[in-house]
Amino acid sequence: MPKAGPRAHRNRRLIRVVKNPVDLRRPFRHVDAIACGALTRHDLVDGSYRLLFDGVSVRVEVTITMALRTAGAVLAYPGAVVGGLAAAAMWDVDVAPSDTTVDLHVAASGLRTRPGVRLHRSCLDEDEIGLVDGVRVTTPARTALDLARSLARDEAVAVLDALLGATGTDPTLVRAMAGRHRGDRGMDAVGPVLAWVDPRSPSPAASRLRVGLLARGLAVPVVAQRLLDGEGRAVGDLALAWPAVRVGVAHTAGVRRAAAAVGWEVFEVRGDAAGEWGTRRRAAPIDELARWVERVADRWDPAPRVGGRNPLRLPPPPGPDGECDGGLSRLVPA
């Protein structure tokens, strides 16, 4: 039988490429790309590809995100389930830097760890595992549970606000899952975190502002409300509101004067105020805001002082539809 010539070998190689394609625009395993003939070992070291993990690369021009690194980590550990901040990124809540450590749940023991990956030996229930772009990840409820018990309270609230809001997950599902795992490590932290979570928060910056005020002892506010006048016209959007004392916080200018006309005290503050630090001579903006809200709220029932003015009566509570002061104003979701 005559030997196959070079042309026949090239044809067989083309057939292998079509049969086992590798998308080089996504993370890929070196062994797969070489086996199908898409790349050679020389191609992998000529500067055209960036190494994500040992044996896993991506084209150098591709933007590295947390979700993309997570997809690469899963290739390095087939069968693993993505968890933590990496799972949040897979659910389109990318609140962590792209070089954040990827958490993976694995069932097998003795696996070799790689830099940038943290392995958790755990057996997840079926209803705790979801599928995103072909990658197995913890469900939003399980992801929220893990983050609530592993992150600091202020950061956990900001991440859970975004995660539950983006996926439409009810916080009660997280509470129910926490009940199933009562006794696991860190579960004592879940309840306090969920007490401050509000998925209606418009941004992580707004969440951190709310958490900063709550940490300073203020009452829990309602989030993302629109203040209307008695005729139903929009007065302005309030990031936070305490309707019982007619106090609000807005992130846009021009709301304070219009709100005063309908009996509200509104403070205008940038959404990133909670991220600024004070100095010896000037307090942080979040501290100034907390003192202002307390001072305005206290005007309704100030501490009795000899010879002082009479305390103002507390206003009537808002009606079921958000109506305040007999129809002078109304709060509705923004």
With both helix axes pointing from N to C terminus, report the angle between 140-148 and 153-167 in degrees, rounded to the nearest 10. Answer: 170
Domain ranges of the chain: 12-59, 66-199, 211-333
- For 235, other C-beta atoms within 10 Å of its C-beta total 22
**Dist. CA 331–CA 320, nearest whole Å:** 10
Q: Please report the pLDDT score of residue 241 as a whole number.
A: 94
**Dist. CA 38–CA 59, nearest whole Å:** 13
Q: Please report the pLDDT score of residue 9 as a whole number.
A: 47
Average pLDDT, the chain: 85
pTM of the model: 0.79
pLDDT tens digits for 220-246? 999 999 999 999 999 999 999 999 889
- For 101, other C-beta atoms within 10 Å of its C-beta total 15
pLDDT tens digits for 10-67? 444 444 444 457 788 889 999 988 888 888 888 888 888 899 988 898 999 999 999 9
Q: 150 CB contacts (<8 Å, ≥6 apart)?
A: 84, 156, 186
Q: Please report the pLDDT score of residue 45 as a whole number.
A: 84
pLDDT tens digits for 200-217? 998 888 888 899 899 999
Q: Please report the pLDDT score of residue 87 as a whole number.
A: 96
Decide: 137 and 129 in contact? Cβ < 8 Å: yes
pLDDT tens digits for 9-23? 444 444 444 445 778
